[in-house]
Amino acid sequence: MNPRLPLVLCLVRVHLEKIAWSIIVGLLAVGLFSVASPWRPINVIITIITLGLTASIYWPHGMRAQAEYEATLPVGRALANAARVLALLCAVLLIVGCWGGCYYNGNLVRAAHWLGEHLRKPNIFAHYYEQCREMFELNWRMPGYQKNTGFAVRTTLCLAWYSALGLAVVLKLTRWWRVAAGVIIMVVGIVAWLWGSNPTRPSAADLLAYRMYVQTIIANVMLNAILIGLLVFPRRVR
Amino acid sequence: MTDASLIVADRLTCRFGATLAVDQLSLQVPPGSITGLLGPNGAGKTTTLRMLLGLQPPESGSACVLGCPSTRLTPAVKARIGYVPEQDGLYAWLRVRSMLETHGRFYPRYTSAHGLELLRRFELPPEQLISRLSKGMRRRLSVVMALAVLPDVLILDEPAEGFDPAARRILLDELAAFVRDGSRSVLLSTHILGDVERAADRIAILCGSRLLLHDELDNLRERCKVLVFDQPPDRAAVAKVFSVLSWATQSGTTEVVVSNFHEDHGLPVREVYPMNLEDIFIHLVRKEGAA
């Protein structure tokens, strides 16, 4: 492993701290607007505005002085800049990931459906498109899908979880017992997610649905692992 | 050029559009010395320091810090340089201790104990948010960060800006201790000439983007004197012997400031006064400006 990688991650963590609030605001904004309007152009516009806000909060203020400070650090300017970009990508990943994760059975499927319709088969999306189309149709057949309380609960808990993680970054909750508390929250969050995202209890035959839930869980565990890693790992470098 | 010098600049030139910021600057900072880099506003001090650190590419000329070309400073060399920039790049959303620890993590010689000791000496509250620090306190933190990594070279750009007198005293004491073992050196750019006079042993004065002089402070003091004449002397005769910086006649006496004083001048001088660094600086810069 490149010995300077932990230092770069350290910079990423520092930058993530700066944009933590905008990430939280972004998540809440995306969540709220998505709940209000599951799939409309306004949703996309709000997401873009949120990402733009994140970038604007991040880049201009003190940017030059900080970039210059980082250029004098013994990691090299290129790596320091890479850390900035990586931090921004993390923020984008968080917001988009949450957006996609929250609405895996909704907006993301619709988006993939739309993409598949436009790109047509055969293409690299063909398999995924088929999956999504089936899921899409399956979902619409499910009773209570469009009016389910679990959907709202899932969204709320998911956003609460990511907000808590964001807060942890802000407040630098890096002591082991705080991290342990974070892991407990994560487990609760995932359980709640499962419970909330599956109110209609599709039959065991709906393997496709379960596969997608598993994918959702894996994606979330990975996302959370990255976040917790960013929180804990750089501080244990020395 | 001295091979042993920790900082060497050789005919460094930098231009911003049509403006010549630094013109053919050559400078050496030997180990064990504190060099004061002085100059009026816009003389090119900050640009010079930034070129030394590779933050500003020179148009021509070259510079080396710790034997490494400034344009290609390796991480290992950077780890041996402490730098206080003109504008600090502190992360305002961190606390003082966290900023110091984050900074120190990049430097192999940093230890938390030493960092915390410096925070205590500079009277910085470790748990304070940087965004809530005053300007002077932020500067203190920048200085602590530069000192805490135990560098071999310190490059300080207006480090004491916003410092109260007590903090300035602490800084000067730290700088004196820093170079005491004779292996490390400091390049200090500042407008507080009293500090330079107390701390520095070498002076470099930039004016109009050129290096006006580069000498030991004691030599400078020996060379720059005020000569008092009871009768107005012949200007041509004085100018033949000395390099005259200024000329003033008041209440029957004439005071001539010269920059190359020597004893065997043969002029009817009543008294010779020493000058402080501020007076020397002002006279030199005025003369240069008039030229």
Tell me the C-alpha distance between B116 and B124, whole Å: 9
Neighbours of A219 (CB within 10 A): 14
pLDDT score, position A220? 56
Task: Tell me whether residues B75 and A65 touch, CB distance under 8 A.
Answer: no
What mean pLDDT do residues B30-37 have?
95
Task: Tell me whether residues B106 and A74 touch, CB distance under 8 A.
Answer: yes
Of B55, B89, B107, the CB nearest to A74: B107
What value, to the nearest 5°, has the Cα angle with vertex B191 and ends B187 and B195? 70
**Locus of tokens 């060379």:** B223
- Does the pLDDT value for residue A108 go beyond 90? no
What mean pLDDT do residues B72-101 have?
91
pLDDT, tens digit (0-9, with 9 covering 90-100), for A12-36: 777 776 666 556 655 555 555 544 4
Which has the closest alpha carbon to A136: A39, A24, A68?
A39
Collapsing DSSP to helix, strand or coil, B212 comes out as strand
CB A169 within 8 A of CB A12: no
Give me A237's structure tokens: 């470098």
Is A173 part of the contact surface with chain B (CB cutoff 8 Å)?
A: no
pLDDT score, position B248? 87
Band the pLDDT of B34: cuts 50, 70, 90: very high
What mean pLDDT do residues A81-103 have?
66
Please give the DSSP secondary-structure letter assigned to residue B26. Answer: E
Tell me the C-alpha distance between B184 and B33, whole Å: 7
Tell me the C-alpha distance between A135 and B42, whole Å: 67
Q: What is the CA radius of gyration of chain A?
A: 19
Is A2 part of the contact surface with chain B (CB cutoff 8 Å)?
A: no
Of A14, A65, A170, the CB nearest to B102: A14
Tell me the C-alpha distance between A170 and A104, whole Å: 28
- Does the pLDDT value for residue A125 go beyond 50? no
Give me A151's structure tokens: 């959907």
Task: Tell me whether residues B75 and A17 touch, CB distance under 8 A.
Answer: no
The dihedral built from the CA positions of residue A62, A65, A66 and A67, taken in this order, carries a sign that is: positive
What value, to the nearest 5°, has the Cα angle with vertex A15 and ends A9 and A16? 85
Identity of residue B228: V
Identify the H or E element spanning B47: helix B45-52
- Does the pLDDT value for residue A127 go beyond 90? no
Which has the closest alpha carbon to A235: B150, B97, B109?
B97
Mean pLDDT of chain A: 57
pLDDT score, position A196? 47
Contacts of A76 in chain B (CB under 8 A): 75
Give me B160's structure tokens: 């004491």
What mean pLDDT do residues A93-105 have?
56
pLDDT score, position A124? 45
Task: Tell me whether residues B85 and A72 touch, CB distance under 8 A.
Answer: yes
pLDDT, tens digit (0-9, with 9 covering 90-100), for B149-161: 999 999 999 999 8
Give me A197's structure tokens: 């995202």
Q: What does the DSSP assignment read for A139-208?
A: HHHSTTSTT-HHHHHHHHHHHHHHHHHHHHHHHT--SHHHHHHHHHHHHHHHHHHHHHH-TT---TT-HH
pLDDT, tens digit (0-9, with 9 covering 90-100), for B260-284: 888 887 888 888 989 999 999 998 8
Task: Tell me whether residues A69 and B89 touch, CB distance under 8 A.
Answer: yes
Tell me the C-alpha distance between A24 and A50, whole Å: 10
Is B55 part of the contact surface with chain A (CB cutoff 8 Å)?
A: yes
CB A211 within 8 A of CB A128: no
Provide the ipTM.
Answer: 0.85
pLDDT higher for A87 or A53? A87
Is A14 part of the contact surface with chain B (CB cutoff 8 Å)?
A: yes
Candidate from A120-129, B74-83, B252-261 with smallest mean pLDDT: A120-129
Residues in chain B: 291
CB A154 within 8 A of CB A98: no
The distance from CA A134 to its chain's CA centroid, rounded to whole angstroms, is 24
**Among all residues of chain B, which has the CA nearest to that of A70?**
B89
Is B57 part of the contact surface with chain A (CB cutoff 8 Å)?
A: no
Mutation pick from A17, A68, A173, A235 vs chain B, by most beta carbons of B within 10 Å, is A68
- Does the pLDDT value for residue B168 go beyond 60? yes
Tell me the C-alpha distance between B272 and B277, whole Å: 16
Give B106 to chain A, closest Cα distance, Å: 6
Contacts of A14 in chain B (CB under 8 A): 91, 94, 102
- Sheet (strand B19-29) strand order: B19-29, B7-16, B60-65, B68-69
pLDDT score, position B35? 96
Cβ-Cβ contacts under 8 Å between A and B: the total is 58
The distance from CA B137 to its chain's CA centroid, rounded to whole angstroms, is 21
CB B82 within 8 A of CB B151: yes
pLDDT higher for A121 or B266? B266
Is A237 part of the contact surface with chain B (CB cutoff 8 Å)?
A: yes
Give B115 to chain A, closest Cα distance, Å: 15
Collapsing DSSP to helix, strand or coil, B216 comes out as strand
Task: Tell me whether residues A238 and B105 touch, CB distance under 8 A.
Answer: yes
